[in-house]
Amino acid sequence: MVAFTEEIVDVGGTKVHTLKGGTGEPLLVLHGAGGNNGWLKSIDALADKYTVYYPSHPGYGESERPDWLETIPDMAAFYTWYLETLGLEGIRAVGFSMGGWIASEIAATCGHSFSKLMLVGSVGIKPNVGEIADLFIISPAQVLDLMFHDPSQAPEYQAVYGREFTPEEMMVAEGNREMAVRLCWKPYMHDARLTSLLARVNIPTRMVWGKNDQIVPVECGEMFNKAIKGSDLVVIDNCGHSPQVEKPDEFIKTALDFLA
């Protein structure tokens, strides 16, 4: 396992809790609406080749939220500041679910931020046929049920989701959920202008989707793929919304192939 450290990055007075580890060129990893799940196997594998920056978004976990930050475009603006603070530019980025939305917003509006972009089960585009599951109107336990196609094939499922949580962890999870509500309530998990803006993205981009994603339909992956020139879409069989947890080996392989 690659050693990682916990760092506080001060972005214009806002403290951002960041997990950092690995060696090599920098790689930004942006978590989904549920929050930062920590240094899992898939993150560790990325850190084997790259220096991974894995922040908790402002308003999530131990990271502060500046008063003005209310939307995903605000979040994108914030992260360009975060990158500038760290002296990072033209780096690789991976975004999971809502983190994919943030990453694609950055890529579309700030062309020099990233050199390669990978979007995993990303929200941000409204599907034409299906719907993005409403995660706010159901309980956290129901969200978890939707997230996995077959939890038994996720080696870290028990460690991450199957154990008893402390009251402090429950408070953090509730706070994370409230931050997701702040960012994504309406329009729910999408932005009507994103598809048009994605035409500006001119870096290598790969979408990765679980074929059995019950939260964000594969159709959304196809729409991202169509909107971004020269991109590709990798669909992983027998896999739900979080390939990095449910099928880590397949996820790692496709990620490392693409990012190399």
Residues at the interface with other proteins (CB under 8 A): 136-139, 171, 174, 177-178, 180-182, 185-186
Q: Work out how close the CB of 145 gets to other proteins at its nearest, in angstroms, rounded to a whole number.
A: 14
Alpha carbons 26 and 228: distance in angstroms, whole number = 23
Nearest approach, Cβ of 188 to other proteins (angstroms)?
Answer: 9
Cα(171)–Cα(15) distance, integer angstroms:
19
Show the beta-strand stretches assigned E in the chain: 4-11, 14-21, 26-30, 51-55, 91-96, 114-120, 205-210, 232-236
* Residue 212: φ, ψ to 5°: -105, 30
Query: Closest approach of Cβ 177 to other proteins, in Å?
Result: 4
Instruction: Name which of 138 and 199 has its Cβ closer to other proteins.
Output: 138
169 versus 174: smaller Cβ distance to other proteins: 174
Choice between 1 and 171, CB closer to other proteins: 171
Burial of residue 87, with CB atoms counted within 10 A of its CB: 0-12 exposed, 13-18 middle, 19 or more buried: exposed
Taking residue 121's Cβ as centre, other Cβ atoms within 10 Å add up to: 29
Residue 74 CB, nearest distance to other proteins (Å)? 14
Instruction: Give whichever of 46 and 75 is closer to other proteins, judged by the CB atom.
Output: 75
- Which of 51, 71 has the CB closer to other proteins? 71
State residue 118 phi and psi, 5-degree precision. Answer: -125, 125
Least Cβ distance, residue 168 to other proteins (angstroms) = 13
- Tell me the two tokens of residue 54: 């894995």
